[in-house]
């Protein structure tokens, strides 16, 4: 019995009690005065006469005793009627039921602010807490019109939306920007997009840097533990992390630290193991993490190295697209500020590129969540992840792991799927149960598959139904005998077929800790204020900047400039050393000689390589010419030019050294003459200084004699 019927029945019980009191009052007066007309007059003339007499003759002890005594049978009669009528029947097999209006009002479902789920009549169902949401509905069931767009319009705080069709951005971005939110559209593969570089959000602190790099690598090259290639995938993941670390720390990658450069590194057309070994020799100052990652790849056999490289190149396919590279060169949005000021980010890749861009979208969502959970600030803005078409995102184990506690960081997630099979395909049945258990609100807009319908039916629960069966028998004497038997059975509150046949405009909301709600779907284009807010957004869609293509540059380690540059840290320190420790006369000779020796060293090593210590010839890093004869002739001509240049440098150095050497020799000779035979030790020291300061050109290899 509903609350309304209970109220009507209670009023009826009060009437029964009043009738018994009136009869008792009349009967009591008749017995007291021994006059039979009193009862008849009391009943027929004025039903309220007992109340009037009780009020007017307060001083009459007889009337007061009769009226008070009549209350006892009246209360007994009314109470008995109420007990019989309102007695709750036991429900041993279940008492599932939907919430009525009274319970909805007690639960404050008709508040002015909060997340929106549907309608009950003209009242909008809203709730305001930190529990996650799951929305289930097949195609064209109203997921966007009834949940995504209304909540994207009215959410207060920061927001991340996956908008594969681009409809949510047009319907909500203008209104959110008017209300003070910064709006960004990340649409990789499109000509107009804001940009996002994952490497810009790698922390530089020791330890944190390694963790962030490994997280990025694990998303780009996921490790499938049940696959036969899991060993190579783990190796590929480690190598990917090492190359990302190298791009982030090498001075040769200044102003070009992005995943496009990482992809170029793996597709340089050069033997990767030789390239890594060459980099280790040229840049020995690299971090331990980078060196160890390079060593792990260098220790692989040729077959294992090729398999790992194949996995990496497959994972980096998105970054072969020039538009995607341009969209990830730099970052326009500050993900770290989402808890300080309202920021709305729409992820809107081209629907045709979703398979290619899936790793990048997964990386964005997971990296954003990692950044937002670094600090716990109870006064921060709430962040709302509206993950429409959740199955299109790649498997995100980190999100499944963090789902139980991210609500404490003011992060709310809404997973929007078409059916439960979408979750089973990606995460499996066990992880699906975990996700369902962590979503306190589950909105069912319809079901086209049996698995989803059965799940919703089980979640609604069961109720007890009663029915009577009557049988009639004829006794021997010809008298009939009737027998009534009451039976109870359990029944689903809604059976699976009833859920699949649910009216188009109806919805079911499963609420943790409460009875379910059966209501109407909300349509934003039929309901204010959503209708006017969406119209404003359509008329004031924010402009998105066009992408900027950066010039394509080769991998630094494959260029002749890199081979001639030497160690970057040595180059940076040469000016300071020359100014502090080297004499002006001697500095040109030492620097020039070091440069000449460094230029000649790779050629000498390349002429006779050994199997045990393989090095990279700078000239071998380029593509091989078609004609070997032409290459040989060009090499001979280049060698002759180099010899001529070296001879010219030797002559210039000798000419520069002669005046200084002569002056120094004269100074030393005069000093030695003054000392005479007094101090042989001092004489020897001066001569040693002279020999070390002005070496013979033949001793240091600056002569052209054969």
pLDDT score, position 478:
65
Are residues 517 and 104 in contact, defined by beta-carbon separation less than 8 angstroms?
Answer: yes
CATH 3.30.1490.100 correct for 115-196+331-539 = no
pLDDT score, position 291:
96
Q: Is the pLDDT score of 483 beyond 90?
A: no
Look at 630 and 405; give whichever has higher pLDDT: 405
pLDDT score, position 590:
34
Are residues 149 and 168 in contact, defined by beta-carbon separation less than 8 angstroms?
Answer: yes
**Lowest-confidence pick of 111-120, 233-242, 618-627, 688-697:** 618-627
Taking residues 46-57, what's their average pLDDT?
71
pLDDT 10s digits, 555-590: 999 999 888 875 544 443 333 323 333 333 333 333
Q: Is the pLDDT score of 449 beyond 80?
A: yes
Taking residues 417-445, what's their average pLDDT?
89
Q: Which residue shows structure tokens 């959410």? A: 155
Q: What is the mean pLDDT of the chain?
A: 80
Q: What residues contact 539, with CB distance under 8 A and at least 6 apart?
A: 174
C-alpha distance from residue 129 to each of 377, 408, 512 (Å)? 17, 11, 12
pLDDT score, position 165:
87
Q: Is the pLDDT score of 323 beyond 50?
A: yes
Q: Is the pLDDT score of 597 beyond 60?
A: no
pTM across the whole model: 0.70
pLDDT 10s digits, 74-94: 888 888 888 777 666 655 666
DSSP string, 623-646: PPPS-HHHHHHHHHHHHHHHHHHH
Are residues 444 and 500 in contact, defined by beta-carbon separation less than 8 angstroms?
Answer: no
Which two three-digit tokens encode residue 275? 């390239």
Helices (H), 492-610: 496-500, 530-539, 560-565, 568-581, 587-607
Rounded to an integer, what distance in angstroms lies between the CA atom of residue 513 and that of residue 495?
Answer: 21
pLDDT 10s digits, 494-504: 999 999 999 99
pLDDT 10s digits, 196-243: 999 999 999 988 999 999 999 999 988 765 555 666 778 899 999 999
Length of the chain as a residue count: 706
CATH number of 198-325: 1.10.8
Which two three-digit tokens encode residue 154? 């009215």
pLDDT score, position 442:
96
Q: SS in 3 state form for 94-111?
A: CECCCCCHHHHHHCCCCC
C-alpha distance from residue 278 to each of 204, 256, 258, 566, 613 (Å)? 26, 21, 22, 11, 11
Q: Is the pLDDT score of 607 beyond 60?
A: no
pLDDT 10s digits, 140-177: 899 999 999 999 999 999 999 999 888 999 999 999 99
Q: Is the pLDDT score of 420 beyond 70?
A: yes
Q: Which H or E run includes 489?
A: strand 480-492
Look at 479 and 617; give whichever has higher pLDDT: 479
pLDDT score, position 583:
34
pLDDT score, position 290:
96
Q: How confident is the model at residue 73 (pLDDT cuts 50, 70, 90)?
A: confident
Q: Is 265 helix (H, G, I), strand (E, B) or coil?
A: helix
Which two three-digit tokens encode residue 132? 């996650």
DSSP string, 239-302: HHHHHHHHHHH-GGGTT--SHHHHHHHHTSSS-HHHHHHHHHHH-TTS-HHHHHHHHHHHTS-H
Residue 694 is classified by DSSP as S
pLDDT 10s digits, 635-675: 555 556 666 776 777 677 667 666 766 776 677 667 656 65
Taking residues 13-31, what's their average pLDDT?
80
pLDDT 10s digits, 664-692: 667 766 765 665 555 554 555 555 555 55
Q: Is the pLDDT score of 605 beyond 50?
A: no
Look at 626 and 459; give whichever has higher pLDDT: 459
pLDDT score, position 630:
45
Domain boundaries, the chain: 3-86, 115-196+331-539, 198-325, 562-693
**Lowest-confidence pick of 163-177, 302-316, 456-470:** 456-470
């Amino acid at each position: 019995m509903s609350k309304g019927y209970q109220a009507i029945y209670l009023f009826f019980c009060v009437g029964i009690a009043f009738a018994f009191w009136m009869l008792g009052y009349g009967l009591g007066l008749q017995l007291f005065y021994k006059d039979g007309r009193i009862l008849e007059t009391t009943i027929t003339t004025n039903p309220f006469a007992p109340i009037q007499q009780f009020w007017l003759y307060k001083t009459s002890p007889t009337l007061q005793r009769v009226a008070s005594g009549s209350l006892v049978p009246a209360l007994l009669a009314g109470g008995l009627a109420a007990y019989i009528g309102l007695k709750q029947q036991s429900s041993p097999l279940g008492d599932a039921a939907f919430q009525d209006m009274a319970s909805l009002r007690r639960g404050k479902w008709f508040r002015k602010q909060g997340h929106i789920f549907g309608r009950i009549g003209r009242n909008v169902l809203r709730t305001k807490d930190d529990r996650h949401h799951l929305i289930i509905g097949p195609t064209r069931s109203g997921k966007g019109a009834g949940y995504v767009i209304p909540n994207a319009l009215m959410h207060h705080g920061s927001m991340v939306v996956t908008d594969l069709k681009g409809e949510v951005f047009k319907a909500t971005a203008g209104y959110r920007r008017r209300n003070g939110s910064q709006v960004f559209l990340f649409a990789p593969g499109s000509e107009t997009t804001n940009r996002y570089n994952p490497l810009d959000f790698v922390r530089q602190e020791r330890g944190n840097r390694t963790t962030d790099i490994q997280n990025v690598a694990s998303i780009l090259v996921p490790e499938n533990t049940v696959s036969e290639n899991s060993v190579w995938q783990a190796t590929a993941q480690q190598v990917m992390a090492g190359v990302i670390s190298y791009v982030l720390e090498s001075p040769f990658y200044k102003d070009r630290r992005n995943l496009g450069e990482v992809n170029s590194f793996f597709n340089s057309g050069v033997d990767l193991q030789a390239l890594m070994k060459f980099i280790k020799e040229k840049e020995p100052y690299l971090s331990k993490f980078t060196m160890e990652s390079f060593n792990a790849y260098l220790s692989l056999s040729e077959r294992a190295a090729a398999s790992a490289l194949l996995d990496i190149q497959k994972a980096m396919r998105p970054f072969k697209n020039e538009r995607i590279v341009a969209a990830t060169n730099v970052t326009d949005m500050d993900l770290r500020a989402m808890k300080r000021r309202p920021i709305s980010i729409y992820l809107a890749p081209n629907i045709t590129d979703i398979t290619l861009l899936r790793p990048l979208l997964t990386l964005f969502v997971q990296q954003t969540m990692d950044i937002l959970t670094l600090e716990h600030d109870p006064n921060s803005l709430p962040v709302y992840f509206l993950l429409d078409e959740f199955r299109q995102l790649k498997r995100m184990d980190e999100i499944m792991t963090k789902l139980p506690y991210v609500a404490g960081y003011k992060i709310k997630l809404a997973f929007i799927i078409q059916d439960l099979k979408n979750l089973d395909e990606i995460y499996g049945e066990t992880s699906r149960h975990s996700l369902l258990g962590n979503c306190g609100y589950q909105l069912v807009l319809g079901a086209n598959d049996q698995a989803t319908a059965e799940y919703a039916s089980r979640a609604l629960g069961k109720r007890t139904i009663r029915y009577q069966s009557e049988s009639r028998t004829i006794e021997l004497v010809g008298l009939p005998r009737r027998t009534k038997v009451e039976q109870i059975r359990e029944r689903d509150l809604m059976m699976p077929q009833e859920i699949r046949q649910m009216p188009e405009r109806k919805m079911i909301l499963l609420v943790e800790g409460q009875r379910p709600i059966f209501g109407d779907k909300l349509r934003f284009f039929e309901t204010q204020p959503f209708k006017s807010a969406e119209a404003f957004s359509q008329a004031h869609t924010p402009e998105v900047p066009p992408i900027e293509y950066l010039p394509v540059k080769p991998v630094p380690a494959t260029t002749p400039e890199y081979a001639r540059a030497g160690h970057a840290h040595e180059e940076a320190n040469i000016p300071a050393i020359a100014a502090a420790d080297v004499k002006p006369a001697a500095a040109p000779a030492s620097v020039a000689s070091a440069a000449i020796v460094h230029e000649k060293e790779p050629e000498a090593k390349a002429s006779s390589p050994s199997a045990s210590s393989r090095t990279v010839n700078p000239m071998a890093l380029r593509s091989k010419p078609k004609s070997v004869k032409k290459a040989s002739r060009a090499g001979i001509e280049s060698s002759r030019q180099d010899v001529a240049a070296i001879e010219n440098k030797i002559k210039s150095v000798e000419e520069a050294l002669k005046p200084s050497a002569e002056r120094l020799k004269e100074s030393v000779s005069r000093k030695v003459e003054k000392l005479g035979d007094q101090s042989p030790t001092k004489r020897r020291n001066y001569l040693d200084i002279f020999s070390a300061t002005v070496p013979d050109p033949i001793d240091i290899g600056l002569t052209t004699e054969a």
